[in-house]
Structure 1
Amino acid sequence: MIRRFHVPLLALALSVTAAQTLAADAPALRPDQVQFRALYKELVETNTTLSSGSCTLAAQRMAARLKAAGFADKEVTLFTAPDHPKEGGLVAVLPGKSATAKPMLLLAHLDVVEAKREDWTRDPFTLVEENGYFYARGAADDKSMAAIWTDMLARFRQNHYQPNRTIKMALTCGEETTWAFNGAQWLTKNRPDLISAEFALNEGGGGDADAKGKLIDQTMQVGEKVSQNFRIETTNAGGHSSIPIRDNAIYELSDAIHAVRDYEFPVQMTDVTRTFFAKVGASRNDDMGRAMMALAKNPTDKAAEAIVNTDRTYHSMLRTTCVATLLEGGHANNALPQRAAANINCRIFPGNTVDATQAALTKAINDPKAKITPVPPIRPVAVPPPLDAKVMGPAEQLSAKYFPGVPVIPTMSTGATDGLFLEAAGIPTYGVPGLWGGPDGDGVHGLNERIWVKSLYVGRDYLTDLVKAYAETM
């Protein structure tokens, strides 16, 4: 996953008079926070990169934590695929009291993006607390959430808390690498009984703060795009470069790429994005805000669209997008190319199929010599969960308690998470508020990844109360 791709809502800071600066040094830790920090440290310092790490080991360590807290063997399931021994995961079940209330599922991924020690200021696999931040690969994405979920279930069992509805947790591998084994997808296909649930809570939401740590908003991710790659390939007979001709595979590929660049997918909206543009637009007293509200009312308003499109994030929220990301071509400096190819990465708007997106690209390129094929894995159609008051209500009520004056905004992610696989299996999945990050991305997927210490501890408390609210009242 992705970094939580939040929409820039800095304009809301002007209207949030009660927002507090939240990057200040945290007070002395409570005993439960000391225990949580130890669990978080163990998980972060377990290397789970695809190249040299092991999600299986991380899952085993978290399972040991749960069993030490009192979980029975039958309540904790470790799983691996035979051909992916280091990409295993964990499912844990805390039984509820109700025989009729359907379970809820807590999802997080254990794997992290690659990190080279020589590039980092600090060892990426040693948790460092410094200047109000935790630094390490996975400190935010997504071991913060995986640690919070695991610690939460352990505390629930230790405190003899039995929820009304059963709470399940799945810690999986493969979210960060498109072509790798994906544990969430494997569970939906091979052990759907383990994770069956009425709904799931996942990464993808969270808050935005300014550079000083002033919290501006919290977001609830309600829906996401599908990430799907396509390969455009052109071929011909080639020949000697001393006698060039126009029939050149690289030139043909270049024309196709230009066609992709110039093609604009049409505007689309869901209930979530319409609510988002209306709500955020109303908070702004500028041309952008007025255009956002106008477009929410009438998605065919071209004048409003032109203004909204000037913001690259808003532009992406309105449509499917496709962009060239990789190139290859030719075989010798002194030879005409026999083959050229490009990877086109598309982020497909919910409800649209891979086939329909391929057809749109084919029409835009309009060249029978350019072969367009989807690159495995082929992702399922994104099915947005409902914008449900039963989901938004508790999140908003708790936000008023923990973050007075800070709004909770429903949003659709322009990125992608493993929630895609759960939604395709009929489990509506929501990216929850609680944690927050800064405007520079906090090094997620890059160098010196970090999370505010206060964000982690306060977000943990918020999420504990949120899970209890859903477990008891929905």
Structure 2
Amino acid sequence: MTTTSGAATDGAHEGRIEGESLEFARGLIRIDSVNTGVTETTGNGEARAARFVAERLAEVGYEPEWFKPVPGRASIVARLRGTDPAAGALVVHAHLDVVPVDGQAWTHPPFGAETHDGILYGRGAVDMKGFAGTMLAVARALAREGRAPRRDLVFAFFADEEAGGRYGSRWIVAERPEVFAGATEALGEVGGFSLPLREGRRAYLVATGEKGSVSIDLVARGRAGHGSRPTPDNAVVALARAVTAVADHPFPIVRTPALDRFIGVLAREFGAGPVGDEALDGFLERLGPPGRLISAAARTTVSPTVLEGGVKRNVIPAEARAQLDIRTVPGHERTIAAELRAIVGNGIEVVERGSIPAIESPMEGELIELLQAAITGEDADGIIVPFQMPANTDNKALALLGIRGHGFTPLRLPNDFDAFGQFHAADEHVPVESLRFGGRVLWRVLRGS
């Protein structure tokens, strides 16, 4: 690619990054790229968002590559060549799709990208068009500067993350893996959000692992009949008992390396002694909403999400089914089905629908040191703290190629701001100053790569 002179000062670059981060985030939010999970009803919003990205990358000399597995669904990937071919490339990624807004009580237009009192509102403000805009701004700044980084940087803007990446990251990994040739590490969601520790001291979370996910159905069968004549083997009753048994089952805490590091750092910051399993949930409660996220990541969780059974009020059905959303600690995805069979007992069929294994990445090394240095450059007392994500991101698809993913989309936030609570919520929003901070940090990270 062709680059321009690097004579501009760091301050000028950072100022332009701050302005473009907000401009591009707002531009992307205004594009309705809702992913319904069904291609026929999703529309072409992702393709329009991809065009927005591609045009702005091309303006500064990139040659963005398009990936269109089906009409309306598109991803964009562009590479900035580094000076050291032997250094593993770094993938920086965001997704361009968002979840639906139907049935939610928004007080600001979800695709209006309005700003009020220093706050940007709109679907994707946090998840994750805000970071996509920041990525785009920093990629352009690197091209304008004209100074190549040490390692290749691969900027990926994916479709379909909100529905598992079938037409986004997973499609590219399966069909065009050469796009990520030489890549060894990745930065994407979810992490980088600040967490208050004590006066003037913040932790910035970095996801160094993601729990596995397993899809399982519970199926109860019985004798069909008229609703006026109760049967002893009513499938709905049997299913209800099974679902209750699963919901009441206490899955134990599993002390992964990421959890132990997280608890150790916070215990030192709070002046607390060792935190045992029995005291862990209480200890995490003092962190507020982020603490509940860490608590969920510390054990396998099972959430019944869909119940199916019966077609008419006065007909006892022969079958009833429950869909379970299961998030497993590393390794548990191989044994959870057998454990559920023991919990629900005889008479309930446990049907496995698929699984994605957990991933774990290093908590130490050059990249972590670089993230810490970038945070310190903008927040002198800020510290990087690893944690395990309880959900899936595009890092799981990249892991199939051996790329070690980290969740880091930096935002310095007000102490009472619940970043994780913004995901998929009505009136999703983010402070404008937090976006500016994120742009400065990402600039430091990628310029130092």
- Scaled by the length of structure 2, the TM-score of the pair is 0.86
Residues 414-441 of structure 1 show CA distances to partners (whole Å, capped at 9, x for unaligned) of 2221111112331000011521451275
The corresponding residue for 1:171 is: 157
- The letter of the residue matching 1:417 is T
| 1:249 maps onto 2:235 in alignment | yes
Alignment coverage as a number of residue pairs:
419
Residue aligned with 1:445, SS: coil
| 1:161 maps onto 2:152 in alignment | no
Residues 214-238 of structure 1 show CA distances to partners (whole Å, capped at 9, x for unaligned) of 8732111110112332211112231
Aligned counterpart in structure 2 of residue 403 of structure 1, from 368, 379, 402: 379
Residue aligned with 1:221, SS: strand
Aligned counterpart in structure 2 of residue 62 of structure 1, from 37, 40, 53: 53
The verdict on how the C-alpha distance between 1:309 and 1:388 changes in structure 2, with shifts beyond 3 A counting, is closer
The corresponding residue for 1:90 is: 76
Give the deviation of 1:337 after TM superposition.
2.3
User: Could you tell me whether the CA contact under 8 Å between 1:95 and 1:165 is conserved in 2?
Assistant: yes
| 1:336 maps onto 2:300 in alignment | no
Give the deviation of 1:182 after TM superposition.
3.9
Residues 432-457 of structure 1 show CA distances to partners (whole Å, capped at 9, x for unaligned) of 15214512756431111111100001
Aligned counterpart in structure 1 of residue 338 of structure 2, from 346, 350, 359: 359
Structure 1 segment 260-271 matched on structure 2, within 5 A: 260-271=246-257
Aligned counterpart in structure 2 of residue 413 of structure 1, from 371, 389, 393: 389
User: Could you tell me whether the CA contact under 8 Å between 2:17 and 2:134 is conserved in 1?
Assistant: no
Q: For the residues of structure 1 that align with 2:317 and 2:200, how far apart are their CA atoms?
A: 54
User: Could you tell me whether the CA contact under 8 Å between 1:117 and 1:124 is conserved in 2?
Assistant: no
Give the deviation of 1:134 after TM superposition.
0.7
Structure 1 segment 218-297 matched on structure 2, within 5 A: 218-285=204-271, 289-290=272-273, 293-295=274-276
Q: For the residues of structure 2 that align with 1:141 and 1:312, how far apart are their CA atoms?
A: 19
Residue aligned with 1:101, SS: coil
The corresponding residue for 1:195 is: 180
Aligned counterpart in structure 1 of residue 30 of structure 2, from 45, 70, 82: 45
Query: Identity, % of aligned pairs?
Result: 25
Residues 9-33 of structure 1 show CA distances to partners (whole Å, capped at 9, x for unaligned) of xxxxxxxxxxxxxxxxxxxx93443
User: Could you tell me whether the CA contact under 8 Å between 2:214 and 2:356 is conserved in 1?
Assistant: no
The verdict on how the C-alpha distance between 1:77 and 1:280 changes in structure 2, with shifts beyond 3 A counting, is same
Give the deviation of 1:63 after TM superposition.
0.8
Aligned counterpart in structure 2 of residue 349 of structure 1, from 329, 338, 344: 329
The corresponding residue for 1:449 is: 428
Residue aligned with 1:269, SS: coil
Residue aligned with 2:350, SS: strand
- The letter of the residue matching 1:236 is G
| 1:373 maps onto 2:369 in alignment | no
Give the deviation of 1:394 after TM superposition.
1.9
Residue aligned with 1:218, SS: strand
User: Could you tell me whether the CA contact under 8 Å between 2:18 and 2:440 is conserved in 1?
Assistant: no
The corresponding residue for 1:7 is: none
Q: For the residues of structure 2 that align with 1:185 and 1:257, how far apart are their CA atoms?
A: 32
| 1:79 maps onto 2:75 in alignment | no
Residue aligned with 1:198, SS: strand
Q: For the residues of structure 2 that align with 1:158 and 1:44, how far apart are their CA atoms?
A: 25
Unaligned 5+ runs, structure 1: 1-28, 296-301
Q: For the residues of structure 1 that align with 2:329 and 2:442, how far apart are their CA atoms?
A: 29
User: Could you tell me whether the CA contact under 8 Å between 1:104 and 1:200 is conserved in 2?
Assistant: yes
User: Could you tell me whether the CA contact under 8 Å between 1:217 and 1:408 is conserved in 2?
Assistant: yes
The corresponding residue for 1:12 is: none
The verdict on how the C-alpha distance between 1:307 and 1:458 changes in structure 2, with shifts beyond 3 A counting, is closer
Q: For the residues of structure 2 that align with 1:118 and 1:421, how far apart are their CA atoms?
A: 30
- The letter of the residue matching 1:164 is R
- The letter of the residue matching 2:398 is L
User: Could you tell me whether the CA contact under 8 Å between 2:245 and 2:344 is conserved in 1?
Assistant: yes
The corresponding residue for 2:120 is: 134
The verdict on how the C-alpha distance between 1:118 and 1:371 changes in structure 2, with shifts beyond 3 A counting, is closer
Q: For the residues of structure 1 that align with 2:305 and 2:408, how far apart are their CA atoms?
A: 30
Q: For the residues of structure 2 that align with 1:117 and 1:412, how far apart are their CA atoms?
A: 31
Residue aligned with 2:360, SS: coil
- Scaled by the length of structure 1, the TM-score of the pair is 0.82
Give the deviation of 1:276 after TM superposition.
0.9
Unaligned 5+ runs, structure 2: 1-13, 36-41, 286-290
- The letter of the residue matching 1:392 is I
User: Could you tell me whether the CA contact under 8 Å between 2:225 and 2:315 is conserved in 1?
Assistant: yes
Residue aligned with 1:38, SS: helix
Residue aligned with 2:217, SS: strand
The corresponding residue for 1:318 is: 298
Residue aligned with 2:157, SS: strand
- The letter of the residue matching 1:62 is V
Give the deviation of 1:380 after TM superposition.
2.6
Q: For the residues of structure 2 that align with 1:325 and 1:33, how far apart are their CA atoms?
A: 41
> Cα RMSD (Å) of the superposition?
2.4
